[in-house]
Amino acid sequence: MVTRTPALQMETRLNAGKRAGFFRVIVAFFVALMRKFLGGETMFVNEFGGPAGGEVVLAPSLAGHIMTKQLAPGQVLFVQRGSWLASTGDIDAKLRFGGLRTLFGGEGLVLLECKGVGDLFVNSYGGITEVPVDGKFIVDTGHIVAFDGSLDFKVRSIGGVKSFLFSGEGLVCEFSGRGTVYVQSRNLDALVSWLTPLLPG
Amino acid sequence: MRFDIIDAPNFALLRIGFDAAGEKIVAESGAMVAMGSEIDVQTSMRGGLLAAAKRKVLGGESIFQNTFTAKQAGQQLFLAPPAEGDMRQKVLAPNEPFFLQSGAYVAHIGDGLVIDTKWGGVKGFFSGVGLFLLKITGPGTIFYASYGALHEVNVGAEGYTADTGHIVGFSHGLEYNVRSFGGMKGLFFSGEGLVADFRGQGTLYLQTRNPSSLASFLHPFRPVKARNS
Amino acid sequence: MRFNTHYRPAHSLTVVELGPNETVRAEASAMISMTRNIRVATTGPLNRSTGGFFGGLKRAFLGGETFFTNTFTAENGPGHVTLAPALTGDMLVHELAQNHQLFIQGGSYVAAPDSVQLDTKWQGMKGFFSGESLFFLNATGYGPVLMNAFGAVQTIDLDGELIVDTGHLVAFTSGLQYTVSKASAGWIKSFLSGEGFVLKFTGRGRLYVQTRNPAEYGRSVGRALPPREA
């Protein structure tokens, strides 16, 4: 949050999914606490609202763009966890991990499966380029902002000498089918690799 | 082969469209953002295996580079540098030299382009962070990036002085000497490191941000090493 | 003296055009380049404009600025110095008028002529979870004051009330009062919400707000970097 008018209230709650049962909420709570202490992104969200209305100004932490997507009934958009900024209306965002390791280390691709009706605000590190896919397309996982639910995707590591190709863990996502992939032009892992030799001890 | 630089000047991204099989571009390792599935990627060592083995790997230099060759027409490739900022292309005529800070190199097209990494190598130029000057000679096309905006200065008879951490490159026609800013006291107290005084007639390319300053800002936020018992 | 800012808002650079014998005082690490006829002096802590010896010390350890600043003077004709901040963002000039004050968050001040005096005014409130501390430089006198922002700048001419996250505040003018409070009720909620401390401003005056928060950025990127020695 950057600024807000005083009458607006802020409530912090767990983002376990709109129709989460009791068990799911408990699991979500423990996952969130673990991730918070291990330095990962949390599943807590802040809800701004109030009887008198008001204005809140939000900004992400990295430099880049904010894209607004209006979700219609039946439409699914997968958003990379760090790219979700805010939503209005009745949008359900379910956390999807790319395997058990991602629970702790933030490795792999952590996605929010977004469904429902409302406005979805997505941020990027860098600019956002829309790439229409019809066939096969490969994207470095650190550069994925979001993609249509109509696409099939497979995360794999490049491995071998070729792992030097890509910054970070050398993970890429192979998309197939028809749909749009939203690609960001900068990548936090690449920034880390670039800065590391310049850091004092 | 078509290319255009999008999202400039803040988050410049190089988009390449291959028009025919066999077209290729060589890029810095780590620069690949996205690509079609019908592109062959070959990883090689800069200057060949023996030269790479002999050279120490310094900060800012990667010994690997990747050659992307299209297997089909219509394939797309997206490349980006790690730093936020601008990117430019420069077409070099045969034997035309261009001096580029090693960290600024993104990619190049043309088998005739020569990238000399051992030229100059004045370590002091970039405050000992392991960056050095590349001497690039045409013919060919070079893509280079700046951290921040790219600020061009036409250097004339009066000369010009710049903080070395902000130098991206310069054209031929310029001479320079590197000194510490403000003498010993300046180095320690004024917060600046080295500057280069330029003389001659040519163009100096500066960047408006500097990775060492970013690294210094982020240093206190790093996790602290656990003590080994 | 003229300040011309280019490449706004993300990678801004300010060219300070100096007439013959004109001097600008600038934060040490901000110099990018300059014409060859600029004489540079490092002002020690014993300078009245920079707040005196103790002012210099206070600024060094509390104000988030470097200990010494540089003065740049054009000799034998006009010249220029180019200045830029360390992080991505905009630069802005506030024209300070006599009998008005500007309070600048530590880290945001870049440069000003000698007609502007700076003093440290210490808020002293360290954000418990956010890690943000509130320190302001108090600028008085007259002349242009060059500041930097992390991200873009929002200029808000306030007549009423507004709540601002502390990490997003660049500067504010006299005429405004503020109180500090936690963003959420309760410490646990503050910890979980990720929001730190907020400032509630009331009155009539101008606020400069930046669209990114340096401490939050530092944490987001810093935790991905290799560990350091304690």
DSSP C196: -
3-state secondary structure of C174: coil
Chain C positions touching B219 (Cβ under 8 A) are 228
C56 phi and psi, to 5 degrees? -60, -45
Is the minimum CB–CB distance between A104 and chain B shorter than 8 Å? no
Instruction: Label the pairing between strands B150-155 and B202-207.
Output: antiparallel
Q: Which residue has the higher pLDDT, B116 or A102?
A: B116
Residue A4's pLDDT band (cuts 50, 70, 90): confident
The answer to whether position C30 is within a domain reads yes
Length of chain A: 201
The per-residue pLDDT for range C204-217, each reduced to its tens digit, is 999 999 988 888 88
Neighbours of chain A (3+ CB pairs under 8 A): B, C
For residue C11, what is the domain's CATH number? 3.60.160.10
User: Which helix (H) or strand (E) element contains residue C85?
Assistant: none
Determine, for residues A183 and B34 on separate chains, whether the beta-carbon distance falls below 8 Å. yes
Test B30 with A164 for CB contact under 8 angstroms.
yes
* DSSP-assigned beta bridge partners for residue B198: B160, B176
**Cross-chain residue pair C212–A191, CB shorter than 8 Å:** no
Question: Both tokens of residue A19?
Answer: 């129709």
Q: Which residues of B touch C (CB under 8 A)?
A: 9-10, 84-86, 148-149, 151, 153, 158-163, 166, 181-182, 185-186, 189-192, 197, 206, 208-210, 213-214, 216-227
Tell me the pLDDT of chain B (229 aa) as tens digits: 999 999 989 999 999 999 999 999 999 888 889 999 999 888 777 665 545 444 444 444 556 788 999 999 999 999 999 999 999 999 999 999 999 988 899 999 999 998 887 655 455 566 555 567 888 998 999 999 999 999 999 999 999 999 888 999 999 999 888 887 754 333 333 344 788 899 999 999 999 998 888 888 888 888 888 776 4
Q: Pick the range with the lowest mean pLDDT from A113-127, A155-169, C86-100.
A: A155-169
B217/C70 CB distance under 8 A: no
Closest CA to B186 of A60, C163, C29, A187: C29
Taking one residue from A and the other from C, the number of pairs with CB-CB distance under 8 angstroms is 82
Rounded to 5 degrees, φ, ψ at B5 are: -100, 115
Q: Which two tokens stand for residue A170?
A: 């050398």
Number of domains in chain C: 1
Give a yes or no: residue C158 inside a domain. Answer: yes
Query: How many angstroms away from the CA of C180 is the closest CA of chain B?
Result: 24
Nearest CB to B35; choose among A135, A138, A199: A138
Identify which of B160, B182, B209 has the shortest CB distance to residue C88: B209
Q: Read out DSSP for chain A? A: --EE-TT-EEEEEE-S-TT--HHHHHHHHHHHHHHHHTT---SEEEEEE-TT---EE---SSSB-EEEEEE-TT-EEEEEGGGEEEE-SEEEEEEE-SSTHHHHH--S--EEEEEEEEEEEEE-SB-EEEEEEEEEEEEEGGGEEEEETTSEEEEEE--GGGGGTSSTT-EEEEEEEEEEEEEES--HHHHHHHHGGGS--
Please indicate whether, in this complex, the C-beta atoms of A186 and B218 are within 8 angstroms of each other: no
Nearest-CA residue of chain B relative to A186?
Answer: B82
Q: Which residue has the higher pLDDT, C86 or C123?
A: C86
| pLDDT tens, residue by residue, A137-153 | 999 888 999 999 999 98
Domain range summary for chain B, segments of one domain joined by +: 2-216
pLDDT of residue B118: 63
**Residue B139: predicted pLDDT:** 96
Chain-chain contact of C212 with A63 (C-beta, under 8 angstroms) = yes
**Mutation target vs C (from B7, B164, B189, B214; most C CBs, 10 A cutoff):** B189
pLDDT of A77 reads 94
pLDDT category, C187, cuts 50, 70, 90? low
Task: For residue B85, give how far its alpha carbon lies from the nearest alpha carbon of chain A (Å).
Answer: 9
Contact A114, A78 (CB under 8 A): yes
What pLDDT, on the 0 to 100 scale, is given for residue B177? 86
User: In the predicted model, what is the mean pLDDT of residues A63-78?
Assistant: 91
DSSP 8-state symbol, C57: H
What's the length of chain B?
229
Give the residue from C90, C156, C193, C207 with the most A CB atoms within 10 Å of its CB, the best one to mutate. C193
* Token representation of residue C128: 């418990």
C214-222 helix and A188-195 helix, angle to the nearest 10 degrees: 80
Distance between CA B75 and CA B17 in Å, rounded?
6
The pLDDT, as a whole number, for residue C63 is 41
Categorise residue A53: left if φ over 0, alpha if ψ from -120 to 50, beta otherwise. left
- What pLDDT score was predicted for residue C57? 47
**Among residues of chain C, what percentage have pLDDT more than 90?**
48
Q: How confident is the model at residue C3 (pLDDT cuts 50, 70, 90)?
A: very high
Average pLDDT of span A44-70:
81
User: Stretch A38-61: mean pLDDT, rounded?
Assistant: 71
Distance from CA of B216 to the nearest CA of A (A): 7
Segment C147-172 mean pLDDT: 92
Query: How far lies A184's CA from each of A64, A122, B228, in Å?
Result: 9, 11, 39
Average pLDDT over residues A17-38: 56
Task: Indicate which of A38, A67, A198 best probes the interface with B, i.e. most B CBs within 10 Å of its own CB.
Answer: A198
Instruction: State the Cα–Cα distance between residues B75 and A131, nearest whole angstrom.
Output: 12
User: What is the distance between the alpha carbons of residues C182 and C198, in angstroms, rounded to a whole number?
Assistant: 6
Res A200 pLDDT > 50: yes
Query: Higher confidence at residue C58 or residue C207?
Result: C207
Q: What is the ipTM of this complex?
A: 0.83
Distance CA C18, CA C16 (A): 6
Q: Mean pLDDT, chain C, as a whole number? A: 81
Provide the pLDDT for residue A12. Answer: 72
Candidate from B153, B206, B219 with C-beta closest to C228: B219
Q: Is the dihedral of CA A16, A22, A27, A30 positive or negative?
A: positive
Has residue C102 been placed in a domain?
Answer: yes
Give the dihedral of Cα atoms C83, B144, C217, C85; nearest 10 deg.
0
Within a domain: C228: no
Q: Give the model confidence (pLDDT) of C61-81 as tens digits.
A: 444 444 457 889 999 999 999
* Residue from C169, C168, C137 nearest C27 by CA: C137
Amino acid identity at B131:
L
Phi-psi label, residue B86: left if phi above 0, alpha if psi -120 to 50, beta otherwise: beta
Per the model's pLDDT, the better-predicted residue between A199 and B97 turns out to be B97
Domains of chain A: 1-58 (no CATH), 61-198 (3.60.160.10)
Distance from CA of A45 to the nearest CA of C (A): 7
Question: Could you list the residue range(s) of the whole structural domain that residue C166 is in?
Answer: 2-222
**CB-CB neighbors (< 8 A) of B64 in chain A:** 164-165
User: What is the second-level CATH architecture of the domain B2-216?
Assistant: 4-Layer Sandwich (3.60)
CB neighbour class for A73 (10 Å; exposed up to 12, middle 13-18, buried from 19):
exposed
Total-model pTM: 0.84
* Two structure tokens written together for A54: 């008001």
A70-93 mean pLDDT: 87
Structure token pair of residue C176: 């405004």
| pLDDT of res. C5 | 96
- Res C119: pLDDT: 80
Lowest mean pLDDT among A181-190, B50-59, C189-198: B50-59
* Distance between CA atoms of residues B180 and B163, nearest Å: 9
| pLDDT at C54 > cutoff 80 | no
Instruction: Find, in chain C, the residue whose alpha carbon is nearest to that of A10.
Output: C184
